Structure 1
Amino acid sequence: MKYVILIHSNPRPWGHPTVDHTEVGRTIPVDQRQQMYKEFDELLAELQASGEFLTAEALDDPASSRVYRWGGKWPGGRLVGTDGLYAEAKEQLAGFFVFDFATRERAEEIAAKFAGPGDTIELRPVA
């Protein structure tokens, strides 16, 4: 079954990897962050070798987004476009990974490994 792991974060300034740009992430010594990156790269290599990893993308600063909403009543309403941010929230969607896992348990096991300082991880099955 396909699952998406969504990374929500509030890096300031916006950047990837997000841990380098979050308040809590910047408190981690550089050598420890380098070890975290190494372990994460090894995890991704394992998931790619197993065929579970499908794709991933880091997203640009939410301020660069354009949001489209339906304005007015039906019929006669119109599409209204506005510049980002999409949501009035501290954390924004920073990136996503798509996997094909055999079980929900495997998806949860891997999603837990994605949690890092300053990030919120969301695991969601693909409909």
Structure 2
Amino acid sequence: MKYVVLIHSNPQPWGHPTIDYTQVGRAVPDQERAAMAKEFEEMLGELSESGELVTGLALDAPATARTYRFEGKRPVSTDGPYAESKEQLAGFFVLDCATRERAEELAAKFAGPGDVIELRPEMEF
């Protein structure tokens, strides 16, 4: 089953990897951040080799977004995401895991300083 790992981060300032841009992430010592980055890259390599990593994408700053809503009889667009939270969607990874437990185990590894991680299964029709 496919799962999406959604990475939410504070948009001020914005950049990737998010640990380098969030206040709490920048508080982590450089040597520790480098070790975390190495571990993360190794994990992505392992997931790629196992076939569990389907894709991943870092997203540009929320200010570059357009939001579309249907009003009346036509769609109307506005600048920005205008989410009701401090964190914004920073990127995502799609995983293909045999069990939800495996997806949850992996999602926890995506959590970094200053980030909020959401795991959501694909909808089955």
Measured against the shorter chain, the TM-score band is: over 0.9
**Structure 1 residues 24 and 6, CA, compared in 2 at 3 Å: closer, same or farther?**
same
TM-score by length of 1: 0.93
Aligned residues: percent identity? Answer: 68
DSSP 3-state at the match of 1:56: strand
Equivalent position SS for 1:60? coil
User: Which residue of structure 1 lines up, in the alignment, with residue 116 of structure 2?
Assistant: 120
**Residue aligning to 1:98:** 94
Q: Does the 8 A contact of 1:69 with 1:81 survive in 2?
A: yes
CA distance in 2, matches of 1:27, 1:107: 29
Letter in 2 for 1:96: F
The answer for unaligned runs of 5 or more in structure 1 is none
**Structure 1 segments of 4+ aligned residues over 6 angstroms from their partners:** none
Q: TM-score, normalised by structure 2?
A: 0.94
Q: What residue ranges of structure 2 are gaps of 5+ in the alignment?
A: none
**Map of 1:7 onto structure 2:** 7
Larger radius of gyration: 1
Count of paired positions: 123
Cα-to-partner distance string for 1:60-92 (whole Å, 9 max, x where unaligned):
0000011110113xxxx3211101033132100
Structure 2 residue identity aligned to 1:39: E
Instruction: Tell me the residue number matched to 2:82.
Output: 86
